[in-house]
Structure 1
Amino acid sequence: MDADVTAHLDTVRSPVRRRDADTLVALMQRVTGQEPRMWATIIGFGQYHYRYASGREGDAPAAGFAPRKAATTLYVMDGVDSHRDLLDRLGPHTTGVSCIYVKDLGEVDLGVLETIVARSYERLTAGVWPSRAAESS
């Protein structure tokens, strides 16, 4: 694992968030086949290129998460609405436009989560992503 990722994980004080981070590193590594690397405060796996109609473009992690104080944030940049069918079976969580917030991975169905990550990663890495999550569903 990248030294920066290890150093970042070493700053996670909550035992639950740290356990969940270790679980997510293994899950996302397995699903994506990529090593984790830091993207600011996000632990990311692989990358995708986006180009919006406005002309803005760039690169971002194709799968990623951040162990935050209140919850672990999982990023699904193709938008949570793309995964509504699976989110209904995930277990306790809340969502934003492109984020899934989980307080304890021990309470969610990791098989469902793995499917969400795999589906999102596959869609994002299939080519240049043309829209923001809010516009993609």
Structure 2
Amino acid sequence: MAENKTQPTQVPVEEFLNAVEHPARRADGFELLNMMRGITGQEAVMWGPSIVGFGQYHYKYQSGREGDAAAVGFSPRKANLALYGLTMSPEADRLLPELGKHKTGASCLYVNRLDDVDRDVLAELIRTGYNHTMTEIHRP
């Protein structure tokens, strides 16, 4: 079975965020860094070249594929901010309509900029997503 391409790295998160070209996207990245760090109580770790992650869990699919991933995280992409792990909790269905302008993908939440969303709702999505992953999905 192939090893996951997205693995934790030793790259300093601040170094990665300082290299984000767009000033607004860079500022949003630093705001998310502080928000997620405060909510999760975890230090940020770079996962692969572009994902800032908090916490870690182990998954195993019925197919036999397994690996480790960040419990929650984000990536300041050119087109948007991709947020990971925030749509998996049962509370997400209730919270997402209150968030503001966003899109969802398979397990991602996409926002153009943080000013488009309600920060309190975003914080609750981070909290519930992290807690769900660490208590319901990650069972040591």
Place the TM-score, normalised by the shorter chain, in its bin.
0.7 to 0.9
Maintained 8 Å contact 1:78/1:124: no
* Mapped pair 1:67 → 2:67: no
1:21 maps to a residue whose letter is: G
8 Å contact kept, 2:82–2:111 = yes
TM-score normalised by the chain length of structure 2: 0.84
- Give the corresponding residue for 1:76: 85
User: Deviations 1:13-58 (Å, cap 9, x if unpaired)?
Assistant: 1111111101100110011100011001100011011111111111
Counterpart position of 1:33: 41
**Segments of 4+ moved more than 3 angstroms:** 77-82, 127-130
Equivalent residue number for residue 57 of structure 1: 66
Q: Distance in 2 between matches of 1:71 and 1:80?
A: 22
TM-score between both structures, scaled by the size of structure 1 = 0.85
Asked if residue 96 in structure 1 is aligned to residue 120 in structure 2, the reply is: no
Give the superposed CA RMSD. 2.0
> Match for 2:42: what amino acid?
Q
In structure 2, the partner of 1:105 is 114
* Distance of aligned partners of 1:85 and 1:27 in 2 relative to their CA distance in 1, 3 Å threshold: same
Gaps of 5+ in 2: 1-9
Matched, 1:19 2:19: no
The answer to whether the 8 Å contact 1:93/1:103 transfers is yes
Per-residue CA deviations over 1:54-92 (Å, capped at 9, x if unaligned) read 111111000100000000100027638861211100001
Q: Is the 8 A contact 1:51 1:128 kept in 2?
A: no
> Do the aligned residues in 2 keep the contact of 1:29 with 1:36 (CA within 8 Å)?
yes
Residues 44, 64 of structure 1: 8 Å contact kept: yes
Give the unaligned 5+ runs of structure 1: 131-137
Amino acid at match of 1:94: K
Counting matched residue pairs gives 129
Shift in alpha-carbon separation, 1:20–1:77, aligned structure 2, 3 A: closer
